[in-house]
Amino acid sequence: MSKPAVRVAVTGAAGQIGYALLFRIASGEMLGKDQPVILQLLEIPDEKAQKALQGVIMELDDCAFPLLQEVTAHSDPMTAFKDVDIALLVGARPRGPGMERKDLLQANAQIFTVQGKALNAVAKRDVKVLVVGNPANTNAYIAMKSAPDLPAKNFTAMLRLDHNRALTQLAQKSGTQVKDIENLIVWGNHSPTMYPDIRFATVNGESLEKKINDDVWNKENFIPTVGKRGAAIIEARGLSSAASAANAAIDHIRDWVLGSNGKWVTMGVPSDGSYGIPEGIVYGFPVTTENGEYKIVQGLEINEFSRERMDKTLAELTEERDGVADLLK
């Protein structure tokens, strides 16, 4: 007998990332090749967006995915999030001409307050939420604060793309394979202030930092390259990362649900106070995952350089949090 279907909501489903994401969820890449899924897709009520969403659904139909039990289109989060087990919050307001960072925060705060409230009202109590839409950490924080009846730990933000970007940079520099690298961390905000930390990373059990043995490269090349990779993709492609972002979302949820088998992965999660990060701030941490739960890796030594970098990205997050505080009252 086949398993009961898992209900997955995806917002911004007619966007770029949605187009790279939905087909992979439906084919079983996220939850396993024996796990049926139901997709509940949310787009803004705008006629053009809803029509585009219908087009995407037509294509999903035309794939005849054996695991896809049902697809529904929504313009209201209250129906889109009904009974969902997983919610991928991808849709967000992009920065428009003349829009300041603060305006962007406020526009997104409105979206994520509404969506947090809807999740609070109608989603499964153990719903796993991944926020992809930027500013992802703060949007996750807003949704979490707007959903007081759900456990705060259900709300996460996507740092996995940064983690994956860092993995490949390291493999290329050290002449090794991505699959052999472990214990990499990306601390903090999904923004250029993030801190990819290679101090604990190993390749086939050997210290990667020692193998590379180039601190100047680490500080002046690697860290900024990972931090500015999003902008470099926009510069090259004329559009922001979509396939790699969708891939990271699949990795994030797959590991959360099915386990990371002892491997460290980076997730943006509400802090429990670990490493001096104030409780509740959604911050990139190294975690391991098992039985559908994540645990922050504990006991890592933080040296002076790391502390400085971790505090810098934290300062940006506390500023973002303070910038939306009035909306969360």
Q: What's the CA gap between 75 and 80, in Å, rounded?
A: 8
CB closer to ligand NAI, 110 vs 204: 110
Nearest residue (beta carbon) to ligand NAI: 15
Residue ranges in contact with ligand NAI by CB under 6 A: 11-12, 14-18, 42-44, 49, 90-94, 111, 132-134, 136, 158, 161, 190, 240-242, 245
CB closer to ligand NAI, 139 vs 183: 139
The separation between the first and the last C-alpha atoms of the chain, rounded to the nearest angstrom, is 48
C-alpha separations of 305 from 106, 219, 297 in Å: 33, 10, 19
C-alpha separations of 326 from 93, 98, 106, 283, 320 in Å: 19, 23, 10, 21, 12
Q: What's the CA gap between 324 and 23, in Å, rounded?
A: 34
Residues contacting residue 201 through CB under 8 Å, at least 6 positions apart: 170, 181, 182, 183, 184, 207, 208, 209
Q: What's the CA gap between 300 and 278, in Å, rounded?
A: 17
CB closer to ligand NAI, 16 vs 202: 16
How many beta carbons lie within 10 A of that of residue 311, not counting itself?
16
* Residues of the binding site: 12-18, 95, 101, 108, 115, 132-134, 165
CB 134 within 8 A of CB 114: no
* Residues of the binding site for substrate: 95, 101, 134, 165
Q: How far is the CB of 161 from ligand NAI (least distance, A)?
A: 4
C-alpha separations of 273 from 159, 270, 292, 322 in Å: 19, 9, 21, 18
CB closer to ligand NAI, 9 vs 67: 9
Q: How far is the CB of 91 from ligand NAI (least distance, A)?
A: 3
CB closer to ligand NAI, 19 vs 305: 19
Which residues are part of the catalytic machinery? 190
Q: What's the CA gap between 173 and 166, in Å, rounded?
A: 11
